[in-house]
Every structure is written in structure tokens, then in C-alpha cells.
């Protein structure tokens, strides 16, 4: 399966993102969660790649498990900072030999206290578009995803410059753009409109992270700089001493966010699940009820039908409206 096949007429590309755990117990827990995520029949599940290649072997191991044990196509993340072109080629060939046909190609995060120029290993790369070019030179048939930033990359001086960088990545061979998480859909829609006006025709897939704890919301905001709508912040803050209420509010907020995106014609949704299936399964289940009715259900009370059995989820997933 190539990610190009996930988006298009009568297709909706559902996908999830996980990260390699750091312990055996984490491995066991992720395997349990992946079994639950695979029941949602996603187009693919991606696995991240630690800073400076710190989890490069684990990324390949988990992508292999995703495909072999859970019968789901995998997308391996790859970053280029602190890596030589030769080492990146070797890693990509290993991925291809393992049957991994999709890559999420990224520059990677700068080390702390580094300049915006990044760190370049001898014979290495400094920009994501260079890695896209390198990957495309190795294979015309693989699927390549790249990152997009609705609220612009923190190192970009303005939206226009940020969009120029995105356009370069697409022209170098990217098949789809997956956005950084955001909580206000107007930000994403404005970004998508700017990209289309700039001539970017590649599918732009919104990245959604369900936030079900107030403390997590504060931490995420400080790390990625996403604007937090008052409705989300005040709702989680009001329930911060009630874990169940926080979870329900966060799930319902994400459901409404996804419904609105679907009404605006997004080609798919990429969920950042943080190695936990519970929230996203409820979200997907609710959206599948919408898909079975062939239109978004306006005005329905959030959460009322979240207890549907799993067989309904799988059956609904087999309709033409959800791939």
C-alpha cells in the first residue's frame, strides 16, 4: 500500500501515529494498544524516529510489527539532522527490504541551544526537502509524507516563507502533507487555502491530537506553540479535578473538530495518539456513525452513542466512504 492510494475520490485516509517505547513494559502496552487501533482499519500507522536517529532501529522494528502482527501498512519516520547521506541511504534500503513502502520525511528537531541552521554531519543534509530528494532518487514507487505547519514553523519568519519551504518539499517529490497538531480549525483551513493558492495540489491531511487532561494541554501548548481556544482550555480546566469528565470533554471536543474538518472536505485525518487507543477509538467510532448516514450529523449530543460495539465499527469501516 502506498499513501497515494489513501486519498482521492470515495476515499478518506484515516491514520495514526505512535512512537517506539523505551521499556519492555512499554512494548507490551503498545502492542495491546496497536491491536485496538488496527480494529479501526486505518490506511496506515506511522512510527516516529527519535532525535538524531536515536530510535532508528526501533522505528524499523515497530514498523515491521505493525505490518506483520497487525496487518496494517506502516509509515516509518526519518529525520536527517546529524546523519550522513550514506547512512540515510543505508537506513532507507533496510526499510524497503523490510517491506516498508512509506516514509514520513522530516528535518528533525534542533538540539537544544543550537542555531536555526541545524547541525550537519560531514556529507549530511540540513533540510527536509534534501531528504525528500534523496528518498525519491532511491525509489519512485515509495510514498513520501512531509510536515506542514498551519501556525507556521517556529523558525519561519512569516507564513509566506513557511509556505515556500512546503512548496519546495512537494516539488521534490512529496505525496502528502501532514500537519502539525492544531486546536482551532480556522487556522488549518486558512493554511490549506494559502497552500492551494500557492499551487500546492498534494493532499493536505490535518493532524489531530485528542487532549484529555488539562495538564497535558498546558504542556503541549508550551512545546509546540499551538493556540489554545478558550473553549478547550476553560472546559478542561473546569474539569481538571475529575479525570473522567476531562476525558469525556476532550474526546467530545475532538469529535466536533473532526466533524467540522470533514464538512470542509479534508482528504483524511492523521491522529497523534501518544500510544493510547482509548480516546481515538471513541472518536473514530462516532465519526463512523456519521459516515454510515453519509453526512455529518449536525446537532447531535456529543458522546451519546460512543458505547457502540466493536463489530459495528468494523462493519461501518468497510463502506466506500471510509478507507
| Alpha carbon 175 to chain centroid, angstroms | 14
pLDDT profile of the chain (323 residues), mean per 10: 91 95 95 96 92 74 97 95 89 96 88 49 77 96 96 88 95 97 96 96 97 88 84 94 95 97 96 96 87 37 34 37 35
Rounded to 5 degrees, what are φ and ψ at 96?
-65, -40
Please indicate whether residue 160 is annotated as part of the active site: no
| pLDDT value for 296 | 31
pLDDT at position 122: 58
User: Could you say which of 17, 33, 151, 248 is catalytic?
Assistant: 17
Residue boundaries of the structural domains of the chain: 3-317
DSSP state of 173: T
CA–CA gap between residue 161 and residue 305 (Å, rounded): 44
The β-bridge partners of 272 are 17
Tell me the DSSP string of 242-297: -HHHHHHHHHHHHHHHHHHHHHTT-SEEEEE-TT--HHHHHHHHHHHHHHHTTS--
CB atoms near residue 43 (< 10 Å): 23
Query: What is the predicted pLDDT for the residue at 56?
Result: 80
| 247 neighbors 215 (Cβ within 8 angstroms) | no
Domain at 3-317, CATH class: alpha beta
Amino acid at each position: 500500500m502506498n499513501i497515494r492510494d489513501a486519498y482521492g475520490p470515495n476515499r478518506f485516509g484515516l491514520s495514526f501515529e505512535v512512537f517506539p517505547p523505551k521499556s519492555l513494559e512499554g512494548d507490551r502496552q503498545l502492542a495491546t494498544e496497536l491491536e485496538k487501533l488496527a480494529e479501526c482499519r486505518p490506511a496506515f500507522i506511522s512510527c516516529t524516529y527519535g532525535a538524531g536517529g536515536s530510535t532508528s532501529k526501533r522505528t524499523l522494528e515497530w514498523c515491521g510489527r505493525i505490518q506483520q502482527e497487525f496487518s496494517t501498512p506502516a509509515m516509518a519516520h526519518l529525520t536527517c539532522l546529524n546523519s550522513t547521506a550514506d547512512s540515510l541511504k543505508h537506513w532507507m534500503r533496510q526499510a524497503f527490504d523490510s517491506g516498508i513502502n512509506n516514509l514520513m520525511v522530516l528535518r528533525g528537531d534542533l538540539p537544544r541551544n543550537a542555531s536555526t541552521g541545524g547541525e550537519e554531519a560531514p556529507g549530511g543534509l540540513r533540510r527536509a526537502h534534501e531528504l525528500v530528494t534523496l528518498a525519491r532518487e532511491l525509489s519512485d514507487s515509495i510514498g513520501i509524507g512531509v510536515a506542514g505547519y498551519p501556525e507556521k514553523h517556529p523558525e519561519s519568519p512569516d507564513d509566506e516563507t513557511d509556505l515556500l519551504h512546503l512548496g519546495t518539499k512537494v516539488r521534490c517529490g512529496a505525496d502528502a502533507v501532514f500537519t502539525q497538531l492544531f486546536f482551532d480549525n480556522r487556522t488549518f483551513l486558512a493554511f490549506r487555502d494559502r497552500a492551494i493558492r500557492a499551487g500546492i495540489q498534494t493532499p493536505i491531511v490535518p493532524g489531530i491530537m485528542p487532549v484529555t487532561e488539562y495538564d497535558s494541554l498546558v504542556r503541549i501548548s508550551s512545546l509546540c506553540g499551538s493556540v489554545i481556544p478558550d473553549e478547550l482550555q476553560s472546559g478542561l480546566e473546569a474539569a481538571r479535578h475529575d479525570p473522567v469528565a476531562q476525558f469525556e470533554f476532550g474526546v467530545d471536543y475532538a469529535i466536533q473538530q473532526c466533524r467540522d474538518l470533514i464538512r470542509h472536505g479534508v482528504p483524511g485525518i492523521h491522529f497523534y495518539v501518544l500510544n493510547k487507543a482509548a480516546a481515538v477509538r471513541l472518536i473514530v467510532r462516532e465519526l463512523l456513525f456519521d459516515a454510515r448516514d453519509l453526512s455529518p450529523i449536525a446537532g447531535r449530543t456529543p458522546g451519546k452513542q460512543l458505547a457502540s460495539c466493536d463489530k459495528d465499527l468494523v462493519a461501518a469501516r468497510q463502506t466506500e466512504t471510509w478507507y
